[in-house]
Amino acid sequence: MEAFILSLTSIAIAEMGDRTQLLALVLVARFRKPWPIIAGVLCATLANHAVAGLLGAWFGKLLTPAMLDGAVGVSMLAMGLWTLKPDSLDQDASAKSSAGAFVATLIAFFLAEIGDKTQIATVALAAAYQNLIAVIGGTTCGMLIANVPVIFLGNAFAHRLPIRAMHLAAAALFAVLGVIFIVRAARHWG
């Protein structure tokens, strides 16, 4: 349960103001079909985070517990710093195909998540926790928690969010997690 809750909260907070959230705004403004867009976000996130989770689980098996905790701790600190840099989305990069809202969202979200901080966090969380299903489920639910309101409420909702404060909260959360994992690594060595 810890893996699920930690994955859900860290991704939901980190996703606030992220480029994929901006992408959701672009897609809903273009297609005005929230349900196919939500389905596309769900499928793309599940696929992307499953790959990231499998990669993280593989790394987790290769490293000693001390090295794993240290690596996860350092990656969480890096994620915290990365979260402080706001994302932007080039309007020309939005999905412009004549394909439906679902296909456009599926492709756009999958590609936008490659190398994104939420994907890297999923790798780190999957390396740290044995329960891969809980991690992938938590990160996927976190993405939906952050993006579904944006999809339904569009620009009016997004402009009312205190994005800077959310970035600071996400950075603080990642920093705390990083310190916790580094302390765990130090206990393994000591």
Q: What is the 3-state secondary structure of 9-25?
A: HHHHHHCCCCHHHHHHH
Q: Give the pLDDT score at 173.
A: 78
Q: Which of 147, 158, 146, 152 is nearest to 9 (CA)?
A: 146
Q: What is the mean pLDDT of residues 43-58?
A: 95
CA distances from 87 to 18, 102, 172 (A): 5, 23, 18
Q: Name residue, tokens 């800077």.
A: 164
As a residue count, the chain comes to 190
Range of the domain at 110: 2-189
> Is residue 10 within 8 Å of 173, Cβ to Cβ?
yes
Residue type, 135: V
DSSP at 85: S
Closest-CA residue to 139 (of 6, 36, 21): 6
**What is the per-residue pLDDT for 155?**
56
Residues above pLDDT 90, as percent of the chain: 37
CB-based contact 86:163 (threshold 8 Å): yes
Residue 36 half-sphere exposure toward CB, CA atoms < 13 A = 14
> pLDDT tens digits, residue range 62-85?
888 788 788 878 877 887 787 677
Predicted pLDDT of residue 70: 85
pLDDT score, position 98? 40
The answer for residues whose C-beta is within 8 angstroms of residue 116's C-beta and 6 or more apart is: 18, 19, 20
Contact 26, 157 (CB under 8 A): no
Q: What is the pLDDT of residues 122-156, one digit of tens each?
A: 999 999 898 999 999 999 999 999 999 989 987 55
The predicted-structure confidence for 104-125, as pLDDT tens digits, reads as follows 899 988 988 887 888 889 999 9
Residue 7 corresponds to which tokens in the numbers above?
């994955």
Domain count, the chain: 1
Q: What is the mean pLDDT of the chain?
A: 83
Helices (H), the chain: 2-14, 19-31, 34-62, 65-83, 101-113, 117-128, 132-158, 163-189
Region 28-34: mean pLDDT is 82
